[in-house]
């Protein structure tokens, strides 16, 4: 584990290198990996390709009311897709 630059959820990060890929996983996310949270979300090469102007597109699935997600601003919703950054 390496310490994060901020406290709270970004307080520590686990760096992994598996199969030639590098993953940077926040400590708070570890219990959710494989339980609805895809480890690919933390693969650095994929994140760098998707990032634009400090923003990263994220697809969130939910039912009912829009969830409150720390650090996520939902920018559009619809019956088939809900997008956030």
DSSP states of 31-79 as a string? GGBTTTB-GGGGBHHHHHHH-BTTB--EE---SSSPP--TT--EEE--S
41 and 66 assigned to the same domain: no
> What are the structure tokens assigned to 37, written together?
């949270």
4 and 45 assigned to the same domain: yes
In the chain (85 residues long), the average pLDDT of successive 10-residue segments reads 50 87 88 85 86 80 80 75 53
Task: Provide the domain count of the chain.
Answer: 2
Whole-angstrom distance, CA of residue 37 vs CA of residue 34: 6
The domain of 63 spans: 52-85
42 and 59 assigned to the same domain: no
pLDDT score, position 7:
54
pTM value surpassing 0.85: no
Contacts 24+ apart (CB under 8 A), 30-35: none
DSSP conformation class of 1: -
58 and 46 assigned to the same domain: no
Residue-wise pLDDT for 6-29, tens only, equals 555 556 888 989 889 899 998 888
């Amino acid at each position: 584990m390496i310490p994060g630059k901020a406290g709270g959820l970004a307080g520590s990060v686990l760096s992994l290198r598996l199969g030639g890929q590098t993953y940077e996983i926040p400590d708070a996310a570890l219990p959710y990996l494989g339980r609805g949270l895809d480890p690919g979300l933390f693969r650095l090469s994929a994140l760098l390709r998707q990032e634009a102007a400090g923003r990263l597109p994220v697809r969130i699935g939910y039912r009912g009311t829009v969830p409150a997600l720390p650090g996520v601003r939902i920018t559009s919703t619809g019956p088939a897709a809900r997008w956030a950054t």
